[in-house]
A and B are shown apart, each in its own frame.
Chain A
């Protein structure tokens, strides 16, 4: 027999087999097991059953035999209580009366309890809803804050004409020349203009890196490949508003954000 089968039989013999184990064993016994396999199986089961004989001897109380024999013919539904129910007719009447009183009182308290339970449940649901709303709001704040305040990036900041402050961060991997940009609340532009990201070169001139798609909502998560410009950048960046289609090599006057 293989290990898997041995494990199955071990579990079965020790009385800890799952239903799936039993099914698998049954199938094996019916279809695959030869005489040796069946004999081995029996031996494993024997071992476990003989374990029962290794326990310390205890003697049952003398009264237990008569109790058990007396309970054999009782209705199965009342057996478990038959041992203790030995009432006289008067005691029976009193117990019925007591049961009725308890039932009436119990029903009253039960209904009261149900109502209170219902009110409590509704309050609980309302408070949970409020809590969930708070959690969602907090989560949005956290996401926004996280995107805008991740450490180690180059901070870009500025204000638009309406005084709306805009911040963002730019991350540059000098080795892979990959750049990631996170900006919150970049104001939307009309179709004639576009945001452009610039990098300042060592000689003080600017390199136009890319246009920024600002058509999306508050947060821009953009990945750009800088090409050869990455090596020239001095970690100074700025974002300007340019005419759509302009090929200008210098940023316009409308600077929205610059690195600090």
Chain B
């Protein structure tokens, strides 16, 4: 598989990134430029994977950075880390764009803080490790080893924004089967991360 992983290209230094977001919150243009250099490829690639068109990708990318610029003051490091914040925001913005073209009216509200539920940093050590490069490599491998019918459902929900009901309809499967396959698939991937952390 010729997929390239970004994990090695992205440095996840939490303290630096939180400091970077603090500076962006204070409207430091150098800081947002620095964040751009660090995340541009990841964000651009994720958006392109979802919306598929170059023009749309550039527009959504602009929206993501504008949102980072505006929402940085409300970023709470106690509730999550910068990587997850940015990835979630990017994914939601992209799915919004995709859905606005697919359904016109069916829109995720990507303005909602993406990490509303994230937990205090005392519990977030696993999160720090989860985004480490080695785990991403392992996760990539685990993803390819998942049964097709589980991997497809996970990818179509994450990268195409289909709900479980929509997936059940698309694949002509009972809703319960879709839920079970997605739960099992994600659990297997989670186990890869957990295993890595525990060893």
What residues of A have a CB within 8 angstroms of the CB of B193 in the complex? 43, 46-47, 50
Taking a contact as CB atoms under 8 Å apart, the answer to whether B139 and A11 are in contact is no
Partner of B7, one of A53, A65, A68, A72: A53
Taking a contact as CB atoms under 8 Å apart, the answer to whether A14 and B186 are in contact is yes
A contacts with B: majority SS:
helix
B46 on the interface (CB 8 Å rule)? yes
| Residues from 1 to 22 in A contacting B, C-beta threshold 8 Å | 3, 6-7, 10-16, 22
What residues of B have a CB within 8 angstroms of the CB of A76 in the complex? 66, 70
The total of interchain contacts (Cβ-Cβ below 8 angstroms) comes to 171
Count of A interface residues, CB-CB < 8 Å: 48
| Residues from 27 to 77 in A contacting B, C-beta threshold 8 Å | 29, 35, 38-61, 64-65, 67-69, 71-72, 76
Residue of B nearest to A83 (CB): B62
**A102 CB, nearest partner CB in chain B, Å:** 26
Q: Known: A3-B183, A45-B84. Is A16-B157 also a contact (CB below 8 A)?
A: yes
How many B residues touch the partner, as a band?
35 or more
**B54 CB, nearest partner CB in chain A, Å:** 8
Taking a contact as CB atoms under 8 Å apart, the answer to whether A52 and B119 are in contact is no
Partner of A60, one of B61, B123, B158: B61
A79 on the interface (CB 8 Å rule)? yes
Taking a contact as CB atoms under 8 Å apart, the answer to whether A26 and B5 are in contact is no
**A194 CB, nearest partner CB in chain B, Å:** 61
Taking a contact as CB atoms under 8 Å apart, the answer to whether B40 and A57 are in contact is no
What residues of A have a CB within 8 angstroms of the CB of B163 in the complex? 16
Taking a contact as CB atoms under 8 Å apart, the answer to whether A58 and B45 are in contact is yes
Taking a contact as CB atoms under 8 Å apart, the answer to whether B182 and A72 are in contact is no
| Residues from 1 to 25 in B contacting A, C-beta threshold 8 Å | 2-7, 10
Taking a contact as CB atoms under 8 Å apart, the answer to whether A6 and B187 are in contact is yes
**A73 CB, nearest partner CB in chain B, Å:** 8
**A82 CB, nearest partner CB in chain B, Å:** 10
Taking a contact as CB atoms under 8 Å apart, the answer to whether A58 and B158 are in contact is no
Taking a contact as CB atoms under 8 Å apart, the answer to whether B49 and A12 are in contact is no
A155 on the interface (CB 8 Å rule)? no
What residues of A have a CB within 8 angstroms of the CB of B108 in the complex? 15
A126-147 toward B: CB 8 Å interface, digit per residue (1/0)?
0000000000000000000000
Residue of A nearest to B143 (CB): A54
A26 to B115, CA, bound (A): 11
Residue of B nearest to A55 (CB): B49
Taking a contact as CB atoms under 8 Å apart, the answer to whether A46 and B7 are in contact is no
Residue of A nearest to B110 (CB): A15
Partner of A58, one of B41, B131, B162, B187: B41
Q: Known: A53-B6, A56-B3. Is A14-B158 also a contact (CB below 8 A)?
A: yes
Q: Which residues of B are in contact with A by a Cβ distance under 8 Å?
A: 2-7, 10, 29, 32-33, 36, 40-42, 44-46, 48-49, 57-58, 61-62, 65-66, 69-70, 83-84, 87-88, 90-92, 95, 108, 116-119, 123-124, 126-127, 130-131, 135-136, 139-140, 143, 154-155, 157-159, 161-164, 179, 182-183, 186-187, 189-190, 193-194
A-B contact pairs, 21 of them (CB 8 A): A6-B183, A10-B183, A14-B157, A15-B91, A15-B95, A16-B162, A29-B117, A29-B119, A42-B124, A45-B84, A46-B190, A47-B130, A50-B136, A51-B155, A51-B158, A52-B87, A55-B159, A57-B4, A57-B6, A64-B44, A67-B58
* Nearest 3 Cβ contacts at the A-B interface: A46-B130, A60-B44, A55-B49
